[in-house]
Structure 1
Amino acid sequence: MLNFLSILIGIVSLVIVIPAQIPLLGWANWLALPLIAIGVATGQLSSSRSGRNFCLVVGLIAVVRLSLGGGVL
């Protein structure tokens, strides 16, 4: 059940991260990062690791976009 919850949190975070790839919408990644952290923590408590790994991939996308934009935009 925790794995399903982690995947669900990852999908919600992905919905926020995808539009944040557009220039001047990078600030939305800052909104997604706390959700991603919650998803990773929830996935870590699960016996399966797929939800945690999915959240880590979404987090990697968000962090790379933030680093390319200078952390602000």
Structure 2
Amino acid sequence: MGLISLIWGIVAMVWMVVALVPLLGWGNWFLIPFAAIGAIIAALAMALTRSERNGRAKTGLLLNGIVIVVAVARLMLGGGIV
């Protein structure tokens, strides 16, 4: 599950870069729930694996958390969230 969350976070990061392009900011509305699901998968992976083997899950959680913060900030700047 750690590898799945890591791949999920990488896909979310790529999607976030695309959503930063003007006129493609609507993608952030779909990106936030996508990254939230990835963060939930990472949290489950961290809970189910030993502490010395959950590096991928930690990285997936970090990537998905960064994506969520940037996507919400982008929506706030663009007027998507008031």
Q: TM-score, normalised by structure 2?
A: 0.77
Structure 2 Cα separation of the partners of residues 10 and 53 of structure 1: 8
Structure 1 Cα separation of the partners of residues 10 and 60 of structure 2: 10
Q: Displacement of 1:31 after TM fit?
A: 1.5
Query: Aligned AA for 2:45?
Result: S
Alignment match, 1:57: 66
How many pairs does the alignment contain?
71
Residue by residue, what CA displacement relative to the aligned partner does 1:11-55 show, whole Å, maximum 9, x if unpaired? 111121111111111001111112101100000011222211111
Q: How does 1:12-31 map to 2 (within 5 A)?
A: 12-31=11-30
Residue ranges of structure 2 left out of the alignment (5+ in a row): 47-53
Alignment match, 1:32: 31
Structure 2 Cα separation of the partners of residues 6 and 31 of structure 1: 17
Q: Percent identity over the alignment?
A: 39
Q: Is the 8 A contact 2:32 2:67 kept in 1?
A: no
Q: Is the 8 A contact 2:13 2:63 kept in 1?
A: no
Q: Displacement of 1:10 after TM fit?
A: 1.1
